[in-house]
């Protein structure tokens, strides 16, 4: 096939659905079907596994066997000739034997389709995804700000967040999440009870819980000399409080610790408690018999308390968020016939102004000059800068002069700019307002990606950014704004004074509409737009035509 070069590519157009090539096979552990060549056959269970890596799948088979978990089905994608992860997502969504769907991917076969499919399926079943190969290398080829603040890892994170999937950053995250979602019931709220015989690990767990919006009261500390009886008394005490939503039990090996007896007490006391329970056994090889007691009774064991808390937070995140669709299937605005644009490249200010004329953008007062000019119609101070069609990054290219307050300063700056740039913009300098960044870019295989956040020359440094794929609506834009510092300022953080929220949302929707209507627009960037209590004014707008 394609590994052979051009002579093999023609083979990749078969008339029938084909899995692979270059794949690890498939397995159905329930029926004892195993076409893989792994040394350990995948054990039966409720995890539906889709993987582009056969080696990782082989590791997961061993991990599942040791942990007491297993798989409903396994599919190796290989080169995805014409069957992809999207096809198998459909399958696992309707498979009654599958409780949780797990994917290891190194790329997405069709990102746009993925968003639609995964956002629908993740509302019914948790979808846990580990993505390899996330490097920013090729993403920095474009010269616009929009591309440089959207490397591959950010695109993947946006896709998983917006589709409602759960992203694992490491293999350990992956296996922890699979264990929790395979074993645990729904986590209905965030009240976490901690029982421990060690202060330090409990403190670390509480710190992690606090950062992940889990509410932890003072832990029940049975102290370092606790035996199984004292642990059992603590279990009885904590179960009397019906307000608790989940339980974390931390056991460390100390002189009086009766690890196996304590685990048997856990099994007895929590047997009929239909709430998430995790046991952290910080005891190394001493715990194998105790671990088997918990494993045989389907109780999750994650050794490190901080990882256990992170997994519970993910469980809560899914159960709270899976009821809401953050990727709308319908467009939130009415589209018009797109304007035909013939010339590729970055548009000039005048071309941009003509293009956006129908979208009611509020542009700062601007004059384009190709010859001698006087600032007669402007109030001091003024700004001089190169036309956007000639200079993308004006600060780095010394293509902008700010805070010009006198005729002499104006003339000097103008002469310097004219030596390098045939077109110069003259603008009134806005002194009031908060700077907002809006960027939309097209990435191969994906819908246009919207990025919003703090604007100005420090956009890339601060990275106060939130992202979503189009289409979006007012609800999604509001959610994105709340994720950024500039958005919280717009909504009146601490002051109670709200800025022009409706105008901001309208500007973002109109920007999205331009890109949706005009497929020739590769990138659109507003940086900055000044936001006050009464209005939003665009100071700089760049549009790249493909």
Tens digits of residue pLDDT in 8-55: 766 656 678 889 888 899 999 999 999 999 999 999 999 999 999 999
Query: What is the model's pLDDT at position 142?
Result: 28
Taking residues 153-158, what's their average pLDDT?
89
pLDDT at 512 over 60: yes
**Burial letters 79-98, b for 16+ CB under 10 A, else e:** bbbbbbbbbbbeebbebebb
Query: What is the model's pLDDT at position 352?
Result: 92
Instruction: Tell me the C-alpha distance between 526 and 473, whole Å.
Output: 19
Tens digits of residue pLDDT in 190-208: 999 999 999 999 999 999 9
What values do phi and psi take at 267, rounded to 5? -60, -45
**Per mean pLDDT, which range of 120-129, 229-238, 247-256, 318-327 is the poorest?**
318-327
Instruction: Tell me the C-alpha distance between 174 and 170, whole Å.
Output: 6
> How many residues are recorded in the chain?
546
pLDDT at 280 over 60: yes
pLDDT at 457 over 70: yes
Residues with Cβ within 8 Å of 72's Cβ and at least 6 positions away in sequence, in order, are 28, 29, 30, 44, 45, 46, 47, 48, 92, 95, 97, 98, 99
Torsion of CA 258, 262, 265, 271, to 10 degrees: -160
Query: What is the model's pLDDT at position 337?
Result: 53
Query: What is the model's pLDDT at position 12?
Result: 55
Instruction: Tell me the C-alpha distance between 368 and 479, whole Å.
Output: 37
Give the mean pLDDT of the chain: 89
CA atoms 332, 338, 342, 346: torsion sign: negative
pLDDT at 69 over 80: yes
Instruction: Tell me the C-alpha distance between 42 and 34, whole Å.
Output: 8
Instruction: Please report which confidence band the pLDDT of residue 325 belongs to, taking 50, 70 and 90 as the band edges.
Output: low
Share of the chain above pLDDT 70, in %: 90
Stated pTM of the model: 0.88
Tens digits of residue pLDDT in 204-257: 999 999 999 999 989 999 999 999 999 999 999 999 999 999 999 999 999 999
Instruction: Please report which confidence band the pLDDT of residue 431 belongs to, taking 50, 70 and 90 as the band edges.
Output: confident
Query: What is the model's pLDDT at position 17?
Result: 86
Q: What is the largest CA-CA distance in the chain?
A: 91
Taking residues 80-100, what's their average pLDDT?
94
Instruction: Tell me the C-alpha distance between 347 and 520, whole Å.
Output: 12
Closest CA relative to residue 97, chosen from 46, 171, 141? 46
pLDDT at 409 over 80: yes
pLDDT at 470 over 90: yes
Instruction: Tell me the C-alpha distance between 453 and 439, whole Å.
Output: 9
Query: What is the model's pLDDT at position 140?
Result: 41
Query: What is the model's pLDDT at position 236?
Result: 96
Tens digits of residue pLDDT in 339-352: 556 578 999 999 99
Taking residues 292-311, what's their average pLDDT?
96
pLDDT at 466 over 90: yes
pLDDT at 153 over 70: yes
Taking residues 464-475, what's their average pLDDT?
93
Query: What is the model's pLDDT at position 229?
Result: 97
Taking residues 296-323, what's their average pLDDT?
92
Taking residues 288-316, what's their average pLDDT?
95
pLDDT at 338 over 60: no
Query: What is the model's pLDDT at position 143?
Result: 34
Chain centre distance of CA 538:
28
């Amino acid at each position: 096939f394609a590994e052979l070069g051009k002579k093999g590519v023609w083979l990749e157009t078969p008339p029938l659905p084909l899995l692979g090539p270059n794949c690890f096979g498939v397995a159905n552990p329930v029926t004892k079907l195993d076409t893989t060549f792994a040394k350990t056959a995948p054990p039966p269970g409720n995890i539906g596994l889709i993987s582009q890596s056969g080696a990782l799948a082989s590791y997961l088979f061993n991990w599942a066997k040791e942990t007491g978990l297993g798989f409903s089905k396994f599919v190796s994608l290989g080169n995805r000739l014409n069957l992809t992860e999207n096809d198998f997502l459909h399958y696992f969504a309707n498979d009654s034997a599958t409780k949780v769907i797990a994917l290891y991917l190194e790329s997405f076969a069709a990102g746009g389709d993925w968003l639609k499919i995964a956002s629908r399926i993740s509302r019914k079943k948790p979808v846990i995804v580990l993505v390899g190969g996330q490097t920013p290398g090729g993403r920095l080829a474009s010269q616009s700000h929009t591309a440089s603040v959207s490397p591959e890892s950010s695109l993947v994170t946006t896709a998983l967040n917006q589709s409602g999937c759960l992203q694992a950053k490491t293999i350990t995250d992956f296996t922890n999440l699979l264990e929790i979602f395979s074993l645990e019931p729904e986590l209905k709220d965030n009240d976490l009870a901690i029982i421990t015989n060690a202060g330090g690990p409990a403190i670390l767990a509480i710190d992690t819980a606090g950062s992940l919006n889990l509410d932890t009261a003072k832990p029940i500390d049975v102290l370092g000399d606790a035996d199984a009886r004292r642990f059992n008394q603590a279990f009885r005490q904590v179960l009397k409080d019906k307000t608790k939503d989940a339980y974390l039990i931390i056991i460390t090996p100390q002189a009086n610790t009766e690890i196996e007896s304590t685990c048997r007490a856990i099994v007895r006391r929590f047997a009929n408690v239909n709430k998430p329970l995790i046991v952290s056994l910080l005891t190394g090889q001493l715990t194998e018999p105790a671990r088997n007691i918990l494993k045989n009774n389907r109780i999750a064991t994650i050794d490190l308390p901080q990882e256990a808390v992170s997994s519970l937070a993910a469980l809560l995140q899914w159960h709270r968020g899976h009821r809401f669709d953050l990727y709308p299937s319908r467009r939130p605005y009415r589209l018009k016939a797109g304007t035909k644009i013939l010339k590729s490249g970055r548009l000039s200010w005048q071309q941009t102004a003509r293009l956006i004329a129908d979208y009611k953008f509020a542009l700062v007062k601007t004059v384009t000059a190709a010859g001698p000019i006087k600032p007669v119609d402007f109030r001091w101070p003024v700004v001089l800068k190169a036309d956007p069609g000639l200079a993308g990054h004006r600060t780095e290219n010394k293509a902008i002069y700010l805070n010009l307050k006198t005729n002499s300063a104006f003339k000097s700056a103008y002469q310097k700019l004219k030596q390098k740039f045939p077109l110069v913009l003259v603008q009134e300098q806005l002194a009031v307002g908060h700077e907002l960044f809006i960027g939309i870019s097209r990435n191969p295989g994906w819908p246009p990606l919207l990025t919003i956040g703090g604007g100005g020359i420090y956009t890339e440094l601060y990275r106060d950014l939130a992202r979503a794929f189009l289409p979006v609506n007012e609800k999604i834009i509001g959610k994105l704004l709340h994720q950024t510092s500039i958005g919280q300022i717009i909504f009146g953080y601490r002051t109670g004074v709200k800025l022009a929220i409706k105008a901001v949302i309208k500007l973002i929707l109109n920007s999205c509409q331009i890109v949706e209507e005009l497929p020739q627009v590769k990138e659109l960037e507003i940086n900055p737009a000044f936001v006050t209590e009464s209005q939003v004014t665009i100071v700089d707008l760049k549009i790249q035509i493909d």
